[in-house]
Amino acid sequence: MADVRWIKITVDMFDNRKIKHLRRLPNGDSIVLIWVMLLTLAGRCNAGGMVFLTENIPYTPSMLADELGFDEATITLALKSFEALGMVSTNEDSFLRVDGWAEHQNVDGMEKIREQNRIRKQNQRERQKELPGMSRDGHGTVTQSHTTDIEVEEEKEGEYKSTAAPKPPTPTRKKYGSYGWVRLTEEEYTRLVADLGEAEALRCITYIDEAAQSTGNKNKWRDWNLVLRKCHRDGWGLSKSANTRGGTPLPTYGGAEQWSL
């Protein structure tokens, strides 16, 4: 991680309508403080607005509560409020991102810091290779230790990794519905509305979101786009008169066995 010492915050931040709205919420001043602390975490991570414990470990609300010094309920309320206002988003791997980061921060400057940090580490490795470890055997003869060999192997391994094709970024999925169970990419949502119509798409989203909430997603749905299309195709959630096909009732809002694909 590059060493970033500061981030940009505008002097009229507290005149922003979103900030004013947040301050009117229960524990509103704490929520705004959490927002500023999230911005500093994003700056510390220096990864395009991503906020994480490590590059492989995302923050959970409980971990953020420990990190920022707030109770978990306040952290959860803050994150839901930020997401509802389009201030943050979470990808399918549960990594948190501050939306619009590049628009408000000196991204070029942060990239320069990352590059300087990379060069500094590379120079440090070069200096270590120029100072091979020495040891003496039982006869007093000076022999070279294996330290340098290990460093060279580690350096080669790093070179192999750096030349590998970069992993494509994971598309960001936004939460839909009152409970936030349904997660779709922007492209999936746009196609869903185009295929089903906005009213039917929203009906299916509401129905599936409430169904997952009522069962705790007992069916372990993951492909929400597929589930929503099946809801439309089979008429889930419609009245009994409309919710039949060939005289056979289709699933209605209820038991977990009715939701399996």
Q: What is the CATH number of the domain that holds 5?
A: 1.10.10.10
* Pair 249, 186 in one domain: yes
Q: In whole angstroms, what is the distance from residue 244 CA to residue 175 CA?
A: 30
Q: Is 37 inside a domain boundary?
A: yes
- Helix segments in 87-185, DSSP class H: 101-104, 107-129, 147-163
Whether the Cβ atoms of residue 151 and residue 128 lie closer than 8 Å to each other: yes
Q: Is 144 inside a domain boundary?
A: no
Q: What is the mean pLDDT of residues 228-246?
A: 74
| Domain boundary, last residue among 114, 132, 150 | 132
Q: In whole angstroms, what is the distance from residue 183 CA to residue 175 CA?
A: 5
How sure is the predictor about 110, in pLDDT bands with cuts at 50, 70 and 90? Answer: low
Q: How many domains is the chain built from?
A: 2
The pLDDT tens digits for 20-50 are 999 999 899 999 999 999 999 988 888 888 8
Q: Is 253 inside a domain boundary?
A: yes
* Pair 15, 71 in one domain: yes
Residue 222: closest CA among 178, 189, 182, 257: 182
Segments forming the whole domain that contains residue 238:
174-259
* 237 Ramachandran zone, left/alpha/beta (phi>0; psi -120 to 50): left
* Pair 74, 179 in one domain: no
* Pair 212, 125 in one domain: no
Q: In whole angstroms, what is the distance from residue 64 CA to residue 58 CA?
A: 10
Q: Is 167 inside a domain boundary?
A: no
The pLDDT tens digits for 174-199 are 999 899 999 999 889 999 999 999 99
* Pair 10, 91 in one domain: yes
Q: Is 165 inside a domain boundary?
A: no
Contacts of 43 (CB under 8 A, 6+ apart): 4, 6, 7, 105, 110
The amino acid sitting at 53 is: L
- Supply the pLDDT for residue 83: 92
Whether the Cβ atoms of residue 37 and residue 68 lie closer than 8 Å to each other: yes
Q: Is 155 inside a domain boundary?
A: no
How sure is the predictor about 132, in pLDDT bands with cuts at 50, 70 and 90? Answer: low
Q: Is 162 inside a domain boundary?
A: no
Q: Is 102 inside a domain boundary?
A: yes
Answer with the residue of higher pLDDT: 250 or 123. Answer: 123
Query: Is the pTM above the cut of 0.95?
Result: no
